[in-house]
Amino acid sequence: MTVINTLSNALSTLYNNETRRNKQAIIMPSSKLIINVLRTMQKEGYVGEFEFIDDGRWGKIVVQLLGRINKCGAITPRISLTYREMISLPDNVRRYLPSKEIGIIIVSTSKGVMSHKEAARQRLGGVILGYVY
C-alpha cells in the first residue's frame, strides 16, 4: 500500500463514507496532522467524536460522522497566506468554498492547525491544508 498524501487520503475517506451515509469512517494510516485536522473539524461541527486505535503499525482513527460534510478535500500544492490575505481570501483559495460564509479552510499556523476564521481572529497567517463545507 503506497500512500503519497495521507491528509488527502483521510479527507477523501471521510467524504466517501459521508456520501454513503455511513455512521463512522476508519482512517488509516494516521498521523498527528490528521488528528489536528479532525480536531478542527470537530470544533466547527463537521464530525463527531474520534478515537485513535494503535494497531502496532500505523494506527487507525475511527471517526463518528454527523452527516454534515457536503464536500471536503486537501489542497495541493499547499499555499501560504499572510494575515491580510487570510481576512479576504484570494480567488485561488475562494474557489474551494461555495460561498463566503459557508465552510472553512483548514490552515496550519505557528499556533497549530485551525480554521481560517480562527486564524484571522488571532491575526495569524499560515499554510492552507484543506477545505470543508
Which stretch of DSSP H or E encloses residue 104? strand 104-109
For residue 52, pLDDT over 90 is answered with yes
- Rounded average pLDDT over 88-117: 91
Domain total in the chain: 2
Contact 73, 111 (CB under 8 A): no
Task: Tell me: do 46 and 78 sit in the same domain.
Answer: no
For residue 50, pLDDT over 60 is answered with yes
Question: What is the residue range of 99's domain?
Answer: 72-132
Asked if the structure places residue 1 within a domain, the reply is no
* pTM, entire model: 0.92
Cell numbers found for residue 71:
464536500
Please provide the average confidence, as pLDDT, over all residues in the chain. Answer: 93
For residue 1, pLDDT over 60 is answered with no
- pLDDT score recorded for residue 3: 64
Q: Of 17, 44, 65, which marks where a domain is finished?
A: 65
